Amino acid sequence: MLFRSIEFANTGNLATSSIFTGTGNIVGSNTGTTNLASTVSTTAGDVTLASSGAMTVNGLVRSLSGNVGLTASSITQNNTVSAGGTGSVSLKATGGAITMGSSVTTTTNGGNIVYEATGNITLGLLRATTGAVNAPSGDVIVKSGAQIADANGNFINNVLANNIALIAATGINLDVKEAGVLAAQTTSGSLVIRDLNCGPRVVTGEAEFSFDFLAALYSMLGLQGNLDKLASIKDDDTGTRKRGRQV
């Protein structure tokens, strides 16, 4: 049965059955662990689900024309999360990791994808594209309080998007393909990015402070004044205080 909208609040552990809506939103919260065991889908609304405990995505989670937002202490993603139309996808782990399976995909139809976690983020594939040819058109931001890691092996893509910003505390190891700006920064640890645009190329090193990284974020957020100020103080050809190697 299709409903206009669905709202629920649960106390304790939760395992969901299939949830479908036609033109409404799906909004849910839970105080324990959450297992999205079956499909959660809306045709023309947003999906917003929050758990104070761990969340496992075992069923498809999608909006055909709206946004999808999942928040939990940690998130294990074993199935597709997708947003159609102009919708975006946001996953946030407030107390741990986001872990995608090696063959798992998150997709938008040109909308943005944001993954943020206090712990490690391990990626299958984040794809922000439009059309049958999967042209990169949306932006992807991945921010980890620890490492950003590769779940599917070297030279198998993890991110396909227009602009890509990667922010980590203790290292980045990833394969990407971008149409616009690629910006990456890690406070410590190694930075290894296999840029598949170049057929393929590996960028390694540690990024302490990157002008290009800030420029990408300012551009994504529409902060033109900050972008102009940044350009005025850029004083070398690398745009970084600590430059990586290309091999």
Query: Looking at per-residue confidence, does 126 or 227 come out higher?
Result: 126
- For residue 230, which phi and psi values (nearest 5 degrees)? -60, -45
User: pLDDT tens-digit profile of 45-62?
Assistant: 999 999 999 999 999 999
Has residue 179 got a pLDDT over 90?
no
User: pLDDT tens-digit profile of 69-84?
Assistant: 999 999 999 999 999 9
**pTM of the model as a whole:** 0.83
**3 state SS of 45:** coil
User: pLDDT tens-digit profile of 127-137?
Assistant: 999 876 678 88
* Distance separating alpha carbons of residues 168 and 155, to the nearest angstrom: 20
Has residue 121 got a pLDDT over 90?
yes
Which DSSP category does 197 fall into?
G
What average pLDDT does the segment 98-126 reach?
96
What average pLDDT does the segment 4-24 reach?
89
Sheet holding 164-168, edge to edge: 6-10, 26-30, 47-51, 68-72, 89-93, 113-117, 140-144, 164-168, 182-186
Q: Which residues of 95-115 are buried (b: 16+ CB within 10 A; e: fewer)?
A: ebbbbbeeebbbbbbbbbbbb
pLDDT recorded at residue 90: 95
What integer best gives the mean pLDDT of the chain?
Answer: 83
Nearest-5° Cα angle at 166, 193 to 158:
55
Has residue 123 got a pLDDT over 60?
yes
In terms of DSSP bridges, do strands 61-63 and 40-42 run parallel, antiparallel, or are they unpaired? Answer: parallel
What average pLDDT does the segment 168-176 reach?
94
Which residue in the block uniquely carries the two structure tokens 């972008």? 227
Going by pLDDT thresholds of 50, 70 and 90, the confidence category of residue 215 is: low
Q: What percent of the chain has pLDDT over 70?
A: 78
